[in-house]
Chains A and B, each alone.
Chain A
């Protein structure tokens, strides 16, 4: 049997580094997601990375940081290039290659969503990972459709009393699931064992698989480097980031945190939110509660049926 048939956890995780020697910022959530994913997926992978942070930090000839086969795609073309790689191997009778994509929130939910939708629709055999740092970080912190409500970015600045981003995060996970995808999950870099489990679960399915991993960016969020992992965990404990899976046609939500931790604490430690008034924070809490209400209703319905 292959390596993959053994369960990989923090104790059995490979020491081989397949994303190494890059120049990502200290405390970069995105590069941690890529590094861990490739350790789990192994060397028989082809990594597709669009123009963006990960290609900017890991792909500068002759300093190339991927230990597995890898390629930069066009910004809009992560999934379409993956489709081509999948088709190319299939046509040549090769079926043991993991084709994995790592695209950011802008590369996925904005410019790349057409190609992603097409790939899921065709059920092309690939694993697409969206590392979500909630803005266009490589170009210097501009708003994307996954920037949360209230976050200041350079194109949604909190100046002269403005709130920052005025739109909510696009519901990428449900959009992806609505295609009837084989497997989809959310994760965070604050819970790597959970991410590893989901990577392996994704690998147990064929067809298109998708993981949306929250990956805080200390520079873009205004965090202390050493707080990056803790903030990712707090996104879950505040109930703002929802851990979930979708497979066999059904949603499976992570445990309700019970009592949510304080949104105020989560928000105040990030410079992108410091301008928010108590009133705006209440609005964020209200939106969160509505989302959970919807989830609880769905889960109960599922239990009844």
Chain B
């Protein structure tokens, strides 16, 4: 069924189609309408799930972990301050190999307070052991809800999955979305079957302590599982295309990069604008390209290096910064290039912090600046001279 809905509502439909057993819900802007929609679906009998009104985000994820330990499929959603408040439980879910699926509405973090979208919340938590996907539109939000469970619950992976959506720009923007039938969703997504649960025939102690020697081994296995997700994501997308007829592009999207001289690497909703500017520049004879990173973890290092091989200059545009250094995506991309032995000129463009607009003109300026040897670290719309010490 094709219908005109917001990104959050699209995601809620995706979660409904995944038939979670337990949803733990706590409101935070701009995530709130996700749990509102799910609550309505439960009340209307369109979704049979335990909908738990928890008392905080920490409890939201702690509750989801507890439910997962019974073998239940679980969902929660958060944003910004809420994501930070539950940070302890992020490690917990990952280390315990509980395949919780969570939506995060990317939003700036206080201080200063701000409800608008940047990606500093999730980028600051890259090392917590969660698969991190960044979607670009409402349809993808719905579709990836199903892919998320399929990947997270795969016995080769058993790793929690965070679906990131840019606050407001994606969460609150209305788009035409195709809502698939339950029957198709059921064909794509099997029930969650796991040994990683309590067992009354053979009782289990879960989430235990482990001393230094063995602990390291558990962490290594966690790392291996996350890396195995790359293959499982590819399998899931192939199967998704067969069932639903929509093909996604894996860990990254290569848009006109094959013969490109200048490429912008970016993530999330701003990709649409960059894609459009690439088309404009191509009409003007500039060999521009877009490399969209979909998954920040597991990180597509080899895929990125392969696409950027032979490119003259790369600009990494991102809505986050690691204060005192540079953008986190930039650091990761440079590492991927270095590992592959590529010496491509790269520079970093920080934009959109606190929801600041990123304009078409600014994207064009980035491409232009790539043609000459510019500054390594740039802040869109900031005139540094005004701030000189």
Chain A residues engaging chain B, CB cutoff 8 angstroms: 43-44, 46, 48, 55-56, 59-62, 64-74, 76-77, 79-85, 87-92, 94, 97, 114-115, 117-118, 121-122
Q: Give min CB distance, A112 to chain B, whole Å.
A: 10
Partner of A76, one of B58, B68, B200, B211: B58
Task: Kindly report which residue of chain A lies nearest to residue B198, judged by CB atoms.
Answer: A69
Q: Give min CB distance, A80 to chain B, whole Å.
A: 4
How far is A76 from B54 in the complex, measured between Cα atoms in Å? 13
Task: Kindly report which residue of chain B lies nearest to residue A68, judged by CB atoms.
Answer: B203
The secondary-structure label for the interface of chain B is mixed
17 contacts between A and B (CB under 8 A): A46-B198, A61-B211, A61-B214, A69-B198, A72-B207, A74-B89, A76-B62, A76-B88, A77-B62, A80-B66, A83-B24, A83-B59, A84-B52, A84-B63, A88-B67, A92-B72, A122-B52
CB pair B68–A88 under 8 Å, yes or no, is: yes
CB pair A56–B89 under 8 Å, yes or no, is: no
How far is A55 from B199 in the complex, measured between Cα atoms in Å? 20
Task: Kindly report which residue of chain B lies nearest to residue A70, judged by CB atoms.
Answer: B205
Other than the given A87-B50, A87-B66, A92-B21, 19 more pairs (CB < 8 A) read: A44-B200, A59-B208, A71-B205, A77-B62, A80-B60, A80-B62, A81-B62, A83-B63, A84-B22, A84-B24, A84-B64, A85-B67, A85-B69, A85-B70, A85-B198, A87-B72, A88-B74, A115-B56, A118-B56
Known: A64-B208, A77-B62, A114-B59. A84 touches B200 (CB 8 A): no
Chain B residues engaging chain A, CB cutoff 8 angstroms: 21-22, 24, 48-50, 52-56, 58-60, 62-72, 74, 88-89, 92, 198-200, 203-211, 214
Partner of A71, one of B22, B49, B200, B206: B206
B residues near A62, Cβ cutoff 8 Å: 214
CB pair A55–B209 under 8 Å, yes or no, is: yes
Partner of A91, one of B65, B72, B205: B72
Partner of A115, one of B62, B69, B211: B62
How many A-B Cβ pairs are below 8 Å?
153
A residues near B214, Cβ cutoff 8 Å: 61-62
How far is A62 from B217 in the complex, measured between Cα atoms in Å? 13
How far is A73 from B56 in the complex, measured between Cα atoms in Å? 16
Q: Give min CB distance, B209 to chain A, whole Å.
A: 5
How far is A278 from B65 in the complex, measured between Cα atoms in Å? 51
How far is A187 from B82 in the complex, measured between Cα atoms in Å? 37
How far is A43 from B214 in the complex, measured between Cα atoms in Å? 29
Partner of B63, one of A55, A59, A81, A94: A81
CB pair A66–B72 under 8 Å, yes or no, is: no
Known: A80-B58, A80-B63, A115-B55. A88 touches B22 (CB 8 A): yes
CB pair A118–B55 under 8 Å, yes or no, is: yes
A residues near B50, Cβ cutoff 8 Å: 87-88, 90-91
A residues near B60, Cβ cutoff 8 Å: 80
How far is A56 from B64 in the complex, measured between Cα atoms in Å? 24
Task: Kindly report which residue of chain B lies nearest to residue A60, judged by CB atoms.
Answer: B209
Q: Give min CB distance, A115 to chain B, whole Å.
A: 5
Partner of A74, one of B52, B62, B208: B62
